[in-house]
């Protein structure tokens, strides 16, 4: 170093030029960047919080999707009953969903319970995602979770359809029981006297046969039955047609083959046949009232 260096340094610092030390707000802890990927101009990064966002802090537009796909109706019902929500015991799935979504945005009004229920049900998935260290792992987990969710939704839809079908069956049974009661009260005025005629019923549903038989017998006739080829052999049908005085078949529940055989042979032997609009007892009653007008000719659909 030259002899002028000390004098030069002395003149610089004596002139008021002092090295500056970077300062930070008191609430921030400075952390030095660990690699070249750090593009911060100061060379420092802030720590990233690992705490998950609570559901009531999320945008309300996602609440409906989260509640609808991540909690079952049974879970929401149990939660609402626990919270003392009036009518939760008998509410429909749609009403349960609406109430669950409404509570989600209120941490003190049920949102915390919704969050707890979600955490409990999806605990395994939450722990899996917490272990993800990079975007690749996170992406794979997301795809896997989406596939599991799609399968779960398909199963839910199947169960919902099954419940709906069971409900319709129960409603149908109630209606059939009511019709049977009406028949028992005033059957004679509802249908003509069959005077021992044998009525062949082809097709329909096997579980209705006892009711069909009761209707025909209360009218003074006898019922012959063939299921249209489901379990009964088609070779039995010509023999039944030859024994019957007339035949009926529901067009909504009979095979084309059975219907074709029935029509051909009834025309061949000049026997009346009545196409029924449905397999219900009401259609059978309407068909029987037309027997006296059939006269061996096919009639209009009942």
User: In the chain, pLDDT over 90 holds for what percent of residues?
Assistant: 22
Q: What pLDDT is stored for residue 293 in this prediction?
A: 58
pLDDT exceeds 50 at position 250: yes
Which segment of 46-50, 113-117, 258-262 scores lowest on mean pLDDT? 46-50
Q: What is the DSSP letter of 108?
A: I
Enumerate the β-bridge partners of residue 276: 250
Q: Residue 68 pLDDT more than 70? A: yes
Three-state DSSP class for 16?
A: coil
d(CA 44, CA 99) in angstroms, rounded, equals: 47
pTM value is 0.41
Supply the DSSP string of 262-297, one letter for each residue. Answer: HHHHHHHTT--EEEESSSSHHHHHHHHHTHHHHTTS
Most confident of 112-116, 163-167, 172-176: 112-116
Phi, psi (5° rounding) for residue 84? 75, 30
What's the number of CA atoms in the CB half-sphere (13 Å) around residue 131?
7
Which domains, and CATH codes, for the chain? Answer: 55-162 (no CATH), 191-294 (3.40.50.10140)
In tens, the pLDDT along 37-67 reads: 444 444 444 444 567 788 888 888 889 888 8
Mean predicted confidence (pLDDT) in 258-269: 94
């Amino acid at each position: 170093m030259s002899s002028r260096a000390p004098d030069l340094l002395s003149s610089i610092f004596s002139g008021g030029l002092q090295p500056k030390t970077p300062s930070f707000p008191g609430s921030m802890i400075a952390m030095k960047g660990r690699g070249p990927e750090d593009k911060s101009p100061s060379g420092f990064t802030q720590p990233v919080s690992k705490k998950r966002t609570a559901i009531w802090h999320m945008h309300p537009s996602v609440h409906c999707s989260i509640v609808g796909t991540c909690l079952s109706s049974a879970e929401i019902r149990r939660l609402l009953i626990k919270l003392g929500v009036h009518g939760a015991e008998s509410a429909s799935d749609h009403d349960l969903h609406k109430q669950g979504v409404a509570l989600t945005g209120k941490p003190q009004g049920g949102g915390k319970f919704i969050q707890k229920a979600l955490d409990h049900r999806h605990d395994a998935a939450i722990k899996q995602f917490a272990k993800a260290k990079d975007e690749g792992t996170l992406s794979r987990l997301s795809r896997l979770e989406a596939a599991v969710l799609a399968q779960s939704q398909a199963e839910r839809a199947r169960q919902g359809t099954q419940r709906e079908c069971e409900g319709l069956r129960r409603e149908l049974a109630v209606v059939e029981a009511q019709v049977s009661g009406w028949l028992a009260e005033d059957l004679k005025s509802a249908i003509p006297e069959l005077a021992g005629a044998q009525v062949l019923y082809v097709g329909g549903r096997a579980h209705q046969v006892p009711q069909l038989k009761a209707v025909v017998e209360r009218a003074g006739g006898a019922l012959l039955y063939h299921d249209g080829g489901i379990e009964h052999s088609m070779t039995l049908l010509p023999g039944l047609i030859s024994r019957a005085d007339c035949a009926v078949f529901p067009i909504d529940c009979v095979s084309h083959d059975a219907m074709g055989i029935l029509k051909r042979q009834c025309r061949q032997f000049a026997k009346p046949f009545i196409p029924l609009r449905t397999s219900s007892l009401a259609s059978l009653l309407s068909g029987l009232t037309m027997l006296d007008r059939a006269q061996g000719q096919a009639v209009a659909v009942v």
